């Protein structure tokens, strides 16, 4: 067992690391049975696995439901799916009700009853469609297979043919989705009804809350209660048992539905949110929201800046410049190949053509309203003067500005760093195909975005002809697609009497893990090498008497089948003497 005590004091630390982020897509359900069960559930996408598809709701008097089963098999030897069995409640399964011969062939029964609950018609022309007609309220399940005779159930659980799909038939007095057409086509409309919503991790994570009153109606005009549930997304297992919640769906007290991505969401994931309206008798109707996730495009904070602590008597040679670049990145730059030289706009993309990728503009703001800004040699160079520090900024608004702190007295301030992707200066063209150009203040066209003064580009204009005189009323702002990412860090100036760390390190201390040789470790923070002289010390006192405290990090250990964080040692302090005593457990190896 080894314990490591390390002194650490840094005026500033900047880490710039490449960020490799892969967006794993949602796991697509494979196999004919899974695909068919999804279709029966009314699913139109296959981006995500769920533990069990919600039941399909059919309404008495709501007409038939047609279910297409073609193009769902990946097995070249089977070009259609059969009904393997149906089951009502806890009864025995009725296998191969359509009478398909083993190995395939024409169905013996082109239609059959599921008890007294529903009539199922099989389209035997190409066996690619089922039509279900509800007859009475109740529940039943249907399971599909490439062969209605092969691999029949090995037990009542029917586990060898996958998860049967459940159908619920509700009465004509149950709640229903608000539809514009008559009841005779209600069930087909309800099966196909869905609202598509696209959310994007980091960029656009929440769909605006919307009122759910009016989405449902009830023939009895009763008060409905609402609930919302989001399906999980499987990450590898076919049954979705490893599913993660990529969205949350909540209903507010004023009956508004809010759908938001969680931190588990990945680009190209997809799932469903089900909004259910239930009447006092327990019958219900449901609306489907299909949630898909896109790939983030906005700039983002890649590596936040560390807080900085500086002594008021620190020498200028000890103060490093704070590097503001590298705090943010922008995925929009990754695939953007700008190879043309010069500064003119690319007519195809509307982007500034340069010798490389576009770069983020980095700007820093001080959180002290009383700070005085003193101009430097350029607009990008200046100094904030306060009672406790001077903060000198160089290159503000460029790709890699820096800031240097000159301490004056004890105090602290928070700085805000904003990284901006200005986006294309102008769109490539308008809705009518007219190419956009940039115009100057005098409404004449030009393309040099580096021009200043009266020649600076100030607007975008969709040019309809070769005339360079443009109408200012037909313009839009430059860089209308600008997006930003923001982070903050704190600079603290501590007094000259504040303790400081010496240059003498506390060395690695090891304890023998052999039985009989285990014991405590002691360190004298005012006499690290054990000499009577009391040197070296861990801290400079600066004329003050010091008291000490030690914190030991918890370590992860297995308890049963769970990994938990727990103490592995006890630290005690007496004067300047620190004693660390390990907590020994059978089989533990830790640091």
d(CA 539, CA 502): 5
pTM: 0.60
Average of pLDDT values for 252-272? 93
What are the two backbone dihedrals, phi and then psi, of residue 274, each rounded to the nearest 5 degrees?
-115, 120
Average of pLDDT values for 494-513? 76
Residue 311 has pLDDT above 50, yes or no: yes
> Which tokens hold the place of 215?
């989405």
Quickly state the pLDDT bin for 79 (edges 50, 70, 90). Answer: very low
Task: Calculate the CA 507 to chain-centre distance.
Answer: 42
What are the two backbone dihedrals, phi and then psi, of residue 435, each rounded to the nearest 5 degrees?
-70, 140
Average of pLDDT values for 223-230? 94
The per-residue pLDDT for 470 is 60
Of 357 and 342, the structure prediction assigns the larger pLDDT to: 357
> Which tokens hold the place of 439?
């115009």
Quickly state the pLDDT bin for 331 (edges 50, 70, 90). Answer: confident
CB neighbourhood size of 13 (10 A): 12
Query: Is residue 305 within 8 Å of 489, Cβ to Cβ?
Result: yes
> Which tokens hold the place of 446?
């030009």
The per-residue pLDDT for 24 is 28
- C-alpha distances (whole Å) from 368 to each of 384, 389, 490 are 9, 11, 12
Q: SS in 3 state form for 167-227? A: EEEECCCCCEECCCCCHHHHHHHHHHCCEEEEEECCCECEEEEEECCCCEECCCCCCCEEE
What are the two backbone dihedrals, phi and then psi, of residue 472, each rounded to the nearest 5 degrees?
-65, -20
d(CA 404, CA 389): 10
DSSP state of 489: E
- The answer, yes or no, to whether the previous bond of 536 is cis (omega within 30 of 0) is yes
pLDDT tens-digit map of 45-60: 333 343 456 788 999 9
Of 365 and 497, the structure prediction assigns the larger pLDDT to: 365
Nearest Cα neighbor of 26 from 45, 53, 8 is: 45
d(CA 88, CA 141): 6
Average pLDDT, the chain: 76
The per-residue pLDDT for 328 is 87
Return the top range by mean pLDDT from 413-417, 482-486, 545-549. 413-417
- C-alpha distances (whole Å) from 30 to each of 49, 237, 379 are 9, 11, 60
Residue 16 has pLDDT above 90, yes or no: no
Rg (CA), the chain: 35
d(CA 111, CA 124): 10
What are the two backbone dihedrals, phi and then psi, of residue 287, each rounded to the nearest 5 degrees?
-120, 140
pLDDT tens-digit map of 408-440: 999 999 999 999 988 777 777 777 777 777 888
Quickly state the pLDDT bin for 2 (edges 50, 70, 90). Answer: very low
Beta carbons within 8 Å of 466's beta carbon, 6+ residues apart: none
Quickly state the pLDDT bin for 164 (edges 50, 70, 90). Answer: confident
Quickly state the pLDDT bin for 476 (edges 50, 70, 90). Answer: confident
How many CA atoms are closer than 13 Å to the CA of 371, on its beta-carbon side?
A: 22
Of 318 and 470, the structure prediction assigns the larger pLDDT to: 318
Give the three-state DSSP class for 509. strand
Give the three-state DSSP class for 108. coil
d(CA 184, CA 172): 12
d(CA 424, CA 438): 11
Quickly state the pLDDT bin for 181 (edges 50, 70, 90). Answer: low
Torsion angle, alpha carbons of 368, 373, 376, 379, to 10: 90
């Amino acid at each position: 067992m080894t314990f490591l005590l390390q002194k650490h004091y840094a005026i500033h630390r900047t880490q710039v690391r490449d960020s490799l982020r892969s967006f794993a897509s949602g796991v697509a359900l494979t196999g004919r049975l899974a695909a068919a069960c999804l279709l029966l559930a009314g699913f139109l996408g296959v981006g995500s696995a769920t533990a069990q598809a919600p039941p399909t709701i059919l309404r008495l008097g709501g007409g038939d439901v047609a279910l297409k089963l073609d193009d769902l098999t990946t097995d070249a030897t089977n070009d259609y799916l059969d009904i393997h069995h149906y089951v009502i409640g806890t009864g025995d399964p009725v296998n191969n009700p359509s009478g398909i011969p083993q190995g395939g062939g024409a169905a013996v029964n082109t239609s059959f009853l599921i008890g007294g609950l529903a009539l199922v018609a099989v389209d035997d022309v190409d066996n690619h469609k089922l039509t279900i007609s509800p007859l009475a309220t109740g529940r039943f399940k249907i399971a599909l297979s490439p062969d209605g005779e092969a691999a029949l159930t090995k037990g009542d659980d029917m586990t060898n043919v996958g998860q049967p799909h459940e159908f619920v038939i509700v009465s004509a007095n149950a709640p229903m989705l608000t539809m514009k057409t008559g009841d005779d086509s209600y069930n087909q409309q309800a099966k196909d009804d869905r609202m598509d919503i696209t959310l994007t991790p980091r960029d656009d994570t929440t769909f605006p809350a919307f009122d759910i009153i009016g989405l449902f109606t009830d023939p009895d005009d009763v008060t409905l209660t609402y609930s919302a549930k989001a399906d999980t997304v499987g990450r590898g297992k076919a049954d979705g048992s490893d599913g993660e919640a990529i969205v949350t769906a909540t209903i507010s007290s004023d009956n508004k539905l809010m759908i938001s991505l969680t931190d588990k969401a990945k680009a190209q994931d997809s799932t469903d949110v089900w909004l259910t309206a239930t009447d006092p008798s327990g019958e219900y109707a449901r609306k489907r929201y299909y949630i898909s996730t896109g790939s983030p495009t906005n700039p983002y904070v890649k590596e936040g800046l560390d807080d900085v602590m500086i002594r008021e008597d620190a020498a200028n040679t000890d103060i490093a410049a704070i590097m503001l670049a590298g705090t943010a990145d922008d995925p929009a730059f990754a695939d953007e190949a700008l190879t043309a030289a010069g500064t003119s706009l690319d007519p195809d993309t509307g982007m500034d053509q340069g010798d490389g990728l576009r770069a983020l503009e980095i700007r820093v703001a001080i959180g002290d309203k009383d700070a005085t800004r003193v101009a430097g040699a350029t607009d990008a160079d200046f100094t904030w003067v306060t009672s406790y520090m001077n903060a000198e900024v160089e290159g503000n608004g460029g790709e890699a500005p820096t800031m240097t702190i000159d301490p004056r007295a004890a105090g602290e301030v928070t700085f805000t760093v904003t990284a901006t992707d200005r986006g294309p200066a102008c769109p490539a063209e308008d809705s009518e195909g007219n190419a956009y150009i940039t115009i100057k203040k005098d409404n004449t066209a030009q393309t040099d975005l580096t021009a200043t003064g009266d020649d600076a580009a100030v607007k975008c204009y969709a040019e309809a002809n070769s005339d360079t005189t443009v109408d200012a009323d037909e313009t839009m702002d430059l860089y209308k697609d600008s997006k930003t990412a923001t982070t903050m860090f704190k600079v603290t100036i501590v007094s000259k009497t504040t303790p400081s760390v010496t240059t003498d390190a506390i060395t690695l201390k090891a304890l023998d893990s052999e039985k009989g040789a285990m014991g405590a470790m002691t360190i004298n923070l005012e006499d690290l090498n054990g000499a009577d002289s009391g040197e070296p010390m861990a801290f400079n006192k600066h004329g003050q008497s010091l008291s000490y405290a030690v914190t030991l990090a918890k370590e992860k250990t297995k308890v049963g089948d769970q990994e938990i964080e727990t103490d592995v040692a006890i630290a005690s302090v007496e004067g300047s003497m620190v004693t660390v005593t390990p907590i020994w457990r059978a089989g533990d190896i830790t640091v």
